Amino acid sequence: MILKDFDFKRVERVMKSLEWEWIGEEGIRYTPTISDLIRVADLCLTQVMKSKEKEDTYSIGGFESVKIDGVLELRFIIEKNNTLSVLF
């Protein structure tokens, strides 16, 4: 349900406008297709679902999946900051 309702076309437009590329297995830079985005988002969700923790996150390729009390959320993150970021 999450993948079906997620706006991957919007993510693709943002990535293209920012000239955001991924690096493939052979080290070749490329702009991901919608299929690539769906595959990586699915991996992101799968990894957080496998966690035995009640609350957990997993991030890859700009996607972030969050699990809180069994509820899943998928995000695409462009920028992130918090008060602890100055410590790391």
8-60: per-residue pLDDT in tens?
A: 999 999 999 999 999 998 999 999 999 999 999 999 999 999 999 999 999 99
Asked if residue 88 has pLDDT above 60, the reply is no
Q: Is 15 helix (H, G, I), strand (E, B) or coil?
A: helix
Domain range for 14 is 2-87
∠ CA(14), CA(44), CA(63), 5° rounding? Answer: 20
Domain count, the chain: 1
Local confidence band at 61 (pLDDT 50, 70, 90 cut-offs): very high
Local confidence band at 83 (pLDDT 50, 70, 90 cut-offs): confident
Q: Is 61 helix (H, G, I), strand (E, B) or coil?
A: coil
Considering only CA atoms, which of 32, 79, 39, 40 is closest in space to residue 63? 40
Whole-prediction pTM: 0.86
- Across the chain, which distance is largest between two alpha carbons, in Å? 39
What DSSP designation does 9 have?
H
